[in-house]
Amino acid sequence: MNDFFVSVSDHLPRLNKSHKVFDVNEELPDQWTYPKPYPYPYPYPYPYPYPYPFLVNGCNHQPGRCRLVPGIDVGSEDIQVLPNGLAFITSGLGPKRPGKILLFNFRKPWRGVRALDIIGDIDRVAFSPHGLNIWRDTNRNLIYLFVINHNGYTKETVEKFRFDEKTRKLYLLRTFTDDPTFVHINDLAVTGEDSFYFTNEYKSQPIMEFKRGLPLGNVAFYDGTKGHIILTDLFFPNGIASSPDGKFVYLALMGEKRLNVYARRANNKLKLKQVIPLCSLVDNIDVDVATGDLRVAGHGDPEMLMKYLTPPHTSISPSQVFRLTTGDGGSRVTDVEEVYYNDGRQFSGSTVAVRYRRLMLIGSVHTNMLLCFIRDA
């Protein structure tokens, strides 16, 4: 296979042996009834992804035991984890929702989450956090947190915080604002103390642009003073991340259901190296600093996702997590595996997945957060 093009169809999810999977051409037994986990009548024309409930049960799989993390009911859109197991979570995405940055300790998961105090001049009522990224200054032992803020959907800014590990507080250092390239920022990948790549997922009307397939998104680079658009005509670019050495950039194209690998040039322009179709509305990307592998969350069904995104966010939507193995210093993806799939009854609206040792956190757009034990770590 050409290394430029790696398809998710080359892998199959590991099915639970307790689930009997029938062939679609096999005649149904006369005594067949809906299994207990399925509500009847089903709230949709047919259970996702096939019009046969017995096949849906076989498609659901997870790496081990999973449970919802208490204390989150307005989303966990993006998550970043430090080497010591502390995870930062953006919660409260959307207008008129309580925006917060939460902290979760992988080493003490039973404690759940806690909201971090923010010190500085920031409108806490309008605070609407979205994507985030960590920048570590190893020379001075400082931790910076960059957070996209929609400010009640009135203007786009990027907030730069310093995290004090002793007091567990965030100190606002700078607000990047009033830049014409800040259109509707979804995610960012920090490259220095004041520089970062970021994605503008759409131009003005997200639902209309998505339904019509209009490629009006872009990727830009902020050099510390102003932004420069470097990739254009993209169909809903979403998550963006860089390799541990910063030489390669990974971009999730939600509308195109694929992930692109780029080589970073000296002038911060990006050169396409590889395309990986994932057959999913891909969202955020997490890079394992130790191995360089990627974890990419996605949404299995566009129509069900739209229903889930509509207030009061009670509809279900399929969730997926992929693990992408990288090689040659992160320059290419060598293997793809779906490590989690659920039709939405256990967990809906998956946006991000991060791993720490034998645990994995999965975040959602508007609802809760899932913690899974990795059985085959």
156, pLDDT greater than 70? yes
pLDDT band at 334 (very low <50, low <70, confident <90, very high): very high
- From CA 184, how far away is CA 260, in angstroms rounded? 20
Cβ(48)–Cβ(56) under 8 Å?
yes
Q: Which residues contact 329 (CB under 8 A, 6 or more apart)?
A: 243, 245, 247, 248, 292
Lowest-pLDDT range of 37-51, 150-164, 264-278 = 37-51
Q: For the segment 95-114, what is each residue's pLDDT rounded down to a tens digit?
A: 888 899 999 999 999 999 99
Q: What is the pLDDT of residue 96?
A: 83
Confirm or deny that 57 is annotated as ligand binding.
no
pLDDT band at 32 (very low <50, low <70, confident <90, very high): very low
Q: What is the pLDDT of residue 92?
A: 94
- What's the average model confidence in pLDDT over 174-201? 97
- What's the average model confidence in pLDDT over 309-315? 90
Q: Among 138, 79, 71, which Cα is nearest to 98's?
A: 71
Q: How many independent structural domains does the chain possess? A: 1
- Mapping DSSP to helix (H, G, I), strand (E, B) and coil, where does residue 317 land? coil
Residue 139 within any structural domain of the chain: yes
CATH classification of the domain holding 295: 2.120.10.30
Q: Which residues contact 92 (CB under 8 A, 6 or more apart)?
A: 74, 75, 98, 99, 100, 127, 128, 129
Residue 49 within any structural domain of the chain: no
- From CA 318, how far away is CA 302, in angstroms rounded? 9
Chain CA centroid to CA 364, Å: 8
Q: What is the pLDDT of residue 232?
A: 97
- The reply to whether 150 belongs to the active site is no
Q: Among 133, 71, 129, 67, which Cα is nearest to 98's?
A: 129
Which tokens belong to 213? Answer: 């397939």
Confirm or deny that 238 is annotated as ligand binding.
yes
pLDDT band at 5 (very low <50, low <70, confident <90, very high): very low
Confirm or deny that 164 is annotated as ligand binding.
no
Residue 125 within any structural domain of the chain: yes
Q: For the segment 69-104, what is each residue's pLDDT rounded down to a tens digit?
A: 999 999 999 999 999 999 999 999 988 888 999 999
Residue 325 within any structural domain of the chain: yes
Confirm or deny that 270 is annotated as ligand binding.
no
Residue 2 within any structural domain of the chain: no
Question: What count of other Cβ atoms lies within 10 Å of the Cβ of residue 217?
Answer: 26
Alpha helices by DSSP H, listed for the chain, are 53-59, 206-211, 302-309
Q: What is the pLDDT of residue 43?
A: 35
- Strands across the sheet containing 100-105: 78-81, 86-91, 100-105, 113-115
Q: What is the pLDDT of residue 58?
A: 59
Torsion of CA 357, 244, 76, 217, to 10 degrees: -150
- From CA 187, how far away is CA 219, in angstroms rounded? 10
Residue 51 within any structural domain of the chain: no
**What SS3 string covers 188-237?**
EEECCCCCEEEEECCCCCHHHHHHCCCCCEEEEEECCCCEEEEEEEECCE
- Mapping DSSP to helix (H, G, I), strand (E, B) and coil, where does residue 348 land? coil
Name the more confident of 326 and 25: 326
Confirm or deny that 283 is annotated as ligand binding.
yes
- Say if residue 95 is preceded by a cis peptide, omega within 30 of 0: no
Cβ(114)–Cβ(101) under 8 Å?
no
Cβ(230)–Cβ(220) under 8 Å?
yes
Task: Provide the phi-psi class of 339: left if phi over 0, else alpha when psi is between -120 and 50, else beta.
Answer: alpha
Q: What is the pLDDT of residue 231?
A: 98
- What's the average model confidence in pLDDT over 174-197? 97
Residue 239 burial by Cβ neighbours in a 10 Å radius (0-12, 13-18, 19+)? buried
- What's the average model confidence in pLDDT over 152-181? 95
Residue 259 within any structural domain of the chain: yes
Q: What is the pLDDT of residue 41?
A: 33
Cβ(39)–Cβ(315) under 8 Å?
no
Q: Which residues contact 33 (CB under 8 A, 6 or more apart)?
A: none
Residue 83 within any structural domain of the chain: yes
pTM for the complete prediction? 0.85
* Domain housing 178: 8-16+60-373
Confirm or deny that 293 is annotated as ligand binding.
no
Sign of CA pseudo-dihedral 314, 187, 153, 218: negative
Q: Which of 11, 19, 130, 366 is catalytic?
A: 130
- Strands across the sheet containing 270-277: 237-242, 248-253, 258-264, 270-277
